[in-house]
Structure 1
Amino acid sequence: MNEASEAEEAGVLIMLGVTVFGLLFANLSGFAHVWAAADILPLQSATPGAFDTLAWWAGQTFVSWTFNILLLVLFGSALALRHQQDGTRGLGWLFVAGLALAYLFWHGELLTVLALAGMIAVPMQALPTATRWMTLSGLIGGTFLILLTGAGITALLPDTMGLADLLGLDATRIADIEAAHQSGFWARLPENMATALQFHLVEVFFLGGGVLGLVLLGMELVERRFWSGNWPVMPLVLGAATALGIGLPLNGWSALNAMSAGFAPSQAWGGIAAHATGAALAASGYAMLGVLAVRYRVAEHVQLFLIRAGHVWLTLHVGQIVLLTLVFSGVSGIALYGQMGPASLFGLGLVLAIVQAGAVWAIDRWLRVGPVEWLLEGLSNRHFARLRRN
């Protein structure tokens, strides 16, 4: 691998390290509450205090949706860094792992749709450049239009229709769901499987085009050496400033608009459109900041740690899913499902981020690769190499 390729790989790994920590905070509410609560404050806390409101607003502004978008793009970049002949190796087993996580642990996993998108995206690299760009632009733009259409439909709803009417999540229904989760993981397994199936149908049929488009975009960024930091400085600086200067205020306004409208479904369309646009801009701004940090070697010790985290991002992501499922709905009597507001979740996120950092250190010290990466590689090669270091 030449110096340019090494720099490109380092940039991708650093951003994967950042993303796997961002996803921890972005996904917490999805584990802790009913499926719709991630973006709806009243479903997280019936009587939110000032700290709850601030924590929810900060999550919506800085992490919600944004790190999911980054993961999709970076997954495509990681695929592009592989040799062409083994680009799809392991994606079938990744698909199986995603199914197992979704149907046995958490419906919100992204690995299944990532694996499917990767299987399609790798062969598409043989297409002419112009065709690839037209395809990814159409896929991303089409998915954005689907989101806008869905948001526009909510504007047609009567003002008298509340969240409970739209989502079928009245107080009694939420209490039943919380009781089922608090009774222990296996007690609610059939319901979890049904929810996972619904999410997979939505991801594949409504959002699958956008996922494929973002994976293709990640591949194109590698081809243009974006992550290596070799692009001109001023376009990166101005791009990051513009993307974050527009994206983060849009995200923040979206959250404030939802609160001021009392989370009425008929008033949600503007906020949804703003959040979708803002999250995409914020993701691109974070990426350009990361590239600038790589270029100027900002906080090199932190970058080295993030490279280690990027190498084992899949193990960390799977570990998050398993651990958070156990914390919130794994053991009867101590499950925290429905018990924590946004401020408490943020505090828990900080603790878990420290635990995750310790896991990165431990894996780097004692193992050659992450356990999940080792497992998928062994299944793909039909031979399991040594996991522990000498």
Structure 2
Amino acid sequence: MNAAPKAERHTSIDTLRGFAVLGILIMNIQGFAMVMQAYSNPLAHMDFSGANQDVWFFSHVFFAMKAMTIFSTLFGAGIILMLGDEKQARIGVHYRRMIWLLVIGLIHAWIFWWGDILVPYAVMGMLVVFARRMSATGLMIFGLALIAIAGALMTLGMMFIPMMEEEQLQAMLLPTPEMVSETVALYQQGFLARLGENMATTAEAEVMQVTFFAPRLAGAMLVGMALFKMGFLTLRWSVTQYAISAILALGIGIPLTWWSSMHHIETGFALDQIWIGESANYFLSPIVAFGYASVVMLMCKFGLFRMLLHPFTAAGRMAFTNYLTQTLIMTYIFVGSPGLGLIGTVERVDQLKIVIAVWIAQLIISPLWLSVFRFGPLEWVWRSLTYWKFQPMRKTAPVSAEPSPPGG
């Protein structure tokens, strides 16, 4: 499999994971700061002009579905990293790990935030593990095929949006002012008061994940397995290969994604046109994500960037903690008592300022924490639950003989 040495493998993968876990926040914050429909239709809630429109445009071009795609591919690569592709791999450890991820994800989704990704990750992780012994070529073909099938289903579904009943449209994209006001008031009222609404939204979101998102997610995981076996994620490619990949992928992906975002704005998110921009971004996002990953791998090849990348590497090693911490921070800011209840009051420009502040905090705290401890706090909990044994936390403690779970 031409695997890289363990230290190198962890560094490159964790660095890329660090960029991804920070990048997803710029999209996720919209699901906390505004009503759910505004995530797909920014005209549904608050101002969408001037600098606010610019922030949406920037986020959509450079981050929408890109960071999530990277995160998903790394999850698949992590399965290979942990189990390898041997027939007698300790599959029981993997399943215990996925079951606990599912439990944590269900709590995260149903209690805290409807936009959870841990539940579908756990479910798909239980399935794609059986493909780990396939060749890199087979994994890549099968993975890209799943992504394409999911994209075709999504496109077909969005083309029928104009034919939906009014109530369906209101629930998905076009909430009435009264619906927006009621949702905002409910979330501002407090954490417990909005619990039922969050659960109802979570139920809808998880149905969408199973029908439209799951095949893409599984496909991305398979692609991640392929990229690991190909040596892409373990720095086995040459500087020239990474540079060419970055130039081609970003040179194609960014301009076309730019066009798709402009199409949304120019058509005013018209119901009969929205599928064009969304489908374009869907199919282009893996290309852009591959370009981003190529840039990060290229930087990892040079010791010159080691100090610059170190905080991102640490953030990636603590990705589980950082992801869930982002939810806690956003919940405190935007949900009412015991939080601040600022949902519906923070425009996109100020949302970006919050994102940058969280980025800075996590890039500072992650390396400081890991200078003392072996794992992030939630990585330690997850790992201890997986092995039914408290794991050594401080760096002075004896090292366990158990293999390290990917990302933890």
Q: Deviations over 1:81-118 (max 9, x none)?
A: 11342444411100110000000000111111111111
- Is residue 153 from structure 1 mapped to residue 160 from structure 2 by the alignment? yes
Superposition pairs for residues 55-94 of structure 1, below 5 Å? 55-83=55-83, 84-85=89-90, 86-94=93-101
CA contact (8 A) 2:144 2:220 kept: no
State the match for 2:401 in structure 1: none
State the match for 1:119 in structure 2: 126
State the match for 1:246 in structure 2: 252
CA contact (8 A) 2:114 2:205 kept: yes
Report SS of the residue matched to 2:160. Answer: helix
Shift of 1:22: 0.6
Report SS of the residue matched to 1:206. Answer: helix
- Is residue 42 from structure 1 mapped to residue 47 from structure 2 by the alignment? no
State the match for 1:136 in structure 2: 143
Distance 1:349 1:326 in 2: 14
Distance 2:120 2:227 in 1: 21
- The amino acid that maps onto 1:25 is I
Aligned CA distance change for structure 1 residues 134 and 245 (closer, same or farther; 3 Å): closer
State the match for 2:15 in structure 1: 14
Distance 2:142 2:4 in 1: 31
Report SS of the residue matched to 2:116. Answer: coil
CA contact (8 A) 2:314 2:370 kept: yes
CA contact (8 A) 1:93 1:380 kept: yes
- The amino acid that maps onto 1:343 is V
Distance 2:267 2:232 in 1: 41
State the match for 2:271 in structure 1: 265
Report SS of the residue matched to 1:113. Answer: helix
- The amino acid that maps onto 2:110 is Y
CA contact (8 A) 1:244 1:282 kept: yes
Q: Deviations over 1:54-94 (max 9, x none)?
A: 11110111111111111100111122111342444411100
Match of 2:243 among 221, 237, 242: 237
Distance 2:106 2:282 in 1: 26
Distance 1:12 1:330 in 2: 37
State the match for 2:182 in structure 1: 176
Distance 2:78 2:223 in 1: 12
Distance 1:289 1:304 in 2: 16
- The amino acid that maps onto 2:127 is I
Q: Deviations over 1:203-228 (max 9, x none)?
A: 11222111111111111111111112
Q: Deviations over 1:226-270 (max 9, x none)?
A: 112222333432221121122122222222211111222112121
State the match for 2:327 in structure 1: 321
CA contact (8 A) 2:260 2:277 kept: yes
CA contact (8 A) 1:230 1:295 kept: no
Listed as ranges, the gaps of 5+ residues in structure 1 are none
Shift of 1:313: 0.6
Distance 1:107 1:189 in 2: 10
Report SS of the residue matched to 1:207. Answer: helix
| TM-score normalised per structure 2 | 0.88
Aligned CA distance change for structure 1 residues 226 and 88 (closer, same or farther; 3 Å): farther
Bigger CA drift: 97-106 or 332-341? 332-341
- Is residue 312 from structure 1 mapped to residue 318 from structure 2 by the alignment? yes
Aligned CA distance change for structure 1 residues 170 and 288 (closer, same or farther; 3 Å): same
Q: Deviations over 1:140-188 (max 9, x none)?
A: 2211111221232236679x99965863511110110000001111101
Aligned CA distance change for structure 1 residues 9 and 164 (closer, same or farther; 3 Å): same
Shift of 1:130: 5.7
Give the superposed CA RMSD: 2.5
Shift of 1:275: 1.3
Q: Deviations over 1:109-139 (max 9, x none)?
A: 1111111111111222234666544432331
Report SS of the residue matched to 2:371. Answer: helix
CA contact (8 A) 1:102 1:196 kept: yes
Bigger CA drift: 96-105 or 120-129? 120-129
CA contact (8 A) 2:264 2:277 kept: yes
Q: Deviations over 1:287-310 (max 9, x none)?
A: 111111112334211222222111
Distance 1:99 1:298 in 2: 42
Distance 1:325 1:161 in 2: 28
Bigger CA drift: 34-43 or 95-104? 34-43
- The amino acid that maps onto 1:348 is I
Aligned CA distance change for structure 1 residues 16 and 265 (closer, same or farther; 3 Å): same
CA contact (8 A) 1:44 1:341 kept: no
Report SS of the residue matched to 2:74. Answer: helix
CA contact (8 A) 1:147 1:273 kept: yes
Match of 1:109 among 116, 121, 130: 116
CA contact (8 A) 1:228 1:295 kept: no
Shift of 1:386: 4.0
